[in-house]
Amino acid sequence: MNQIIECVPNFSEGNDLNVIKQITDEIESVEGVRLLNVDPGKATNRTVVTFVGTPNAVVQAAFKAIKKAGELIDMSKHKGEHPRMGATDVCPLIPVSNISMEETVAYAQELAKMVGDNLQIPVYLYEYAQPDKQRNNLSIIRAGEYEGFFKKIKLPEWKPDVGPQEFDAKRGGTVIGARDFLIAYNVNLNTTSVRRANAIAFDVREAGRTKKINGKTVLDENGKAVTIPGSLKSVKAIGWYIEEYGVAQISMNLTNIHVTPLHIAFDEVCKKADARGIRVTGSELVGLVPLQSMLDAGKYFLEKQKRSTGVSEKELVRIAILSLGLDELAAFKPEERIIEYLLKDKADSKLINMQLDDFADETASESPAPGGGSISAYVGALGISLATMVANLSSHKQGWDERWKEFSDWADKGQYYKNELLKSVDADTKAFNQIMAAFGLPKSSDEEKRARTQAIQDATKLAIEIPFRVMNIAYESMEVIHAMAATGNPNSISDAGVGALCARSAVMGAFMNVRINAASYNDKNFVEDIIAKGKAIEEKTITLEKEILQLVNEKIK
């Protein structure tokens, strides 16, 4: 699989859309990158751009964008609410898949050298790309901002890592680095006071505030200012006023979302604001957010209500948007702001995105796919969906309040099995299509024949493995179905029974596909092993189905 890194350059222009478009055109001109998001801010006069791609392509695209920004943006005329020091203020690289932080650091350092040597822009490295831990923090590097850097750059301790030790009046300097995924996040307040917003920011940010007594800074034995740390780790924050919206905000960078996730940052700001007589009215995300952050937020707010978290992904995202007030200032469109949704290949979910009648029509058509494997996966998804429904109904049943978490956990499991089976609907059809494509390969020479035979065998193995996985998941999902038949809402007992019938059909149907595809696979040891395992799963499924149906029928009587 390809190595993928993300790049999130911040350009010091948020008003002139023509300038922004010229910069992003440079990014899109490079093959191997995909522009995901362009997020201009008028008050900050800054645009956050997000793109992903293979490492070399990302480095090339970032270089071209930095070059173009330097040509179009004049920092001597720039004004904005956000701290800044250059036309391309900061340009981080972030590992996304199949690449380590160490490898990402090497690419960041390569980009910095290209910018410093070829464009003659002073460059500072930050975060993981900066070997000197005394100057790896972005806010420390940028302290003094554009106006102060003409003198700062002359100090020996602030010599650029790459490029000239002269501050460019038009282009400024830039900071390039490698970092973990960072969420830029602003929380809206019902005040216009920057002083009060800053007080809340100091309450929550890790760096906290300088300790003062009677207006004087308290010093330690070494003469350094004593600080009172804030309540949130891995959070940077300042307060500012956004004229565009007419409100003050707490502007935060969540630098490690595993330490302080989105929902915790939001709730903590709510608490600190409330203590100062201020209300949080909503929030906004700058750039993109990982899907898991939204799902975790949705579950967090449902748990606070003692509601089942075993709801669909779409519903969890909706709950997160509502609870965080992400659509207060502008519409929040998940398909445009969640990184996984932007990277999703629509071809991978063509079937499950169809309407029910279209899916039935496609199945009934003369096309050989979707076939029995995809239908088995879908039947299995329907079976566990019924059991998940029973779990959710049980979690919210009047008089069962003490058991809401028990059933919420079952519903969570059910959602997992449902999602995995739904993925297999398209995966099975895709595997069949790969076999057909392999059979269509040329075979005019011995080399072509060997390549064609290998491609057919590889595709056949995949077409065995996918329905075998469906068997496993459908069987495992019966744990939830059995629990709902035994302990779930008695008014929905028949739904658990139908779920068991569907799961059994999914296992047996998928096993038929395993067997028919295995007949064409040359590795007989692999075939014997997987058929034996399949028979064992089928037998266990039939036994468990009988147990569930007995429970159901006894309760119906």
**Residue 126 pairs with which residues in a beta bridge?**
177
pTM: 0.80
Q: Which of 307, 341, 304, 301 is nearest to 321 (CA)?
A: 301
Q: Residue 215 has what pLDDT? A: 82
Compute the average pLDDT of residues 48-53: 92
Q: Which two tokens stand for residue 428?
A: 């099975």
Q: Best-predicted range by mean pLDDT among 33-47, 221-235, 353-367, 474-488? A: 474-488
pLDDT digits (tens, 9 = 90+) for 416-441: 999 999 999 999 999 999 999 999 99
Question: What's the CA gap between 120 and 114, in Å, rounded?
Answer: 9
pLDDT digits (tens, 9 = 90+) for 375-393: 999 999 999 999 999 999 9
pLDDT band at residue 489 using 50, 70 and 90 as cut-offs: very high
Q: Residue 510 has what pLDDT? A: 97
Q: Are 90 and 4 in contact (CB under 8 A)?
A: no
Higher pLDDT among residues 336 and 297, named by residue: 297
Q: Residue 191 has what pLDDT? A: 96
Q: Residue 434 has what pLDDT? A: 93
Least confident of 223-227, 319-323, 329-333, 445-449: 223-227
Entry field: residues in the chain: 557
The catalytic site residues sit at: 82, 428
For residue 166, give the amino acid letter: E
pLDDT band at residue 346 using 50, 70 and 90 as cut-offs: confident
pLDDT score of 368 more than 90 = no
Q: Residue 1 has what pLDDT? A: 54
Alpha-carbon radius of gyration of the chain: 29
Q: Are 273 and 204 in contact (CB under 8 A)?
A: no
Q: Residue 342 has what pLDDT? A: 81
Q: Are 224 and 198 in contact (CB under 8 A)?
A: no
pLDDT digits (tens, 9 = 90+) for 255-293: 888 899 999 999 999 999 999 999 999 999 988 888 889
The 3-state DSSP class for residue 225 equals strand
Question: What's the CA gap between 410 and 150, in Å, rounded?
Answer: 61
Compute the average pLDDT of residues 301-324: 97
The 3-state DSSP class for residue 144 equals coil
Structural domains of the chain in order of their starting residue, each with its CATH number: 4-178 (3.30.990.10), 183-343 (3.30.70.670), 346-556 (1.20.120.680)
Tell me how crowded residue 476 is: count the other CB atoms within 10 A of its CB. Answer: 16
The 3-state DSSP class for residue 209 equals strand
pLDDT digits (tens, 9 = 90+) for 3-41: 889 999 999 999 999 999 999 999 999 998 999 889 998
pLDDT digits (tens, 9 = 90+) for 492-510: 999 999 999 999 999 999 9
Q: Residue 462 has what pLDDT? A: 95
CA 258 to chain centre: 13
pLDDT band at residue 180 using 50, 70 and 90 as cut-offs: confident
Q: Where are the beta strands (DSSP E) in 26-106?
A: 33-41, 46-53, 88-97
Q: Residue 289 has what pLDDT? A: 87
Compute the average pLDDT of residues 118-129: 96
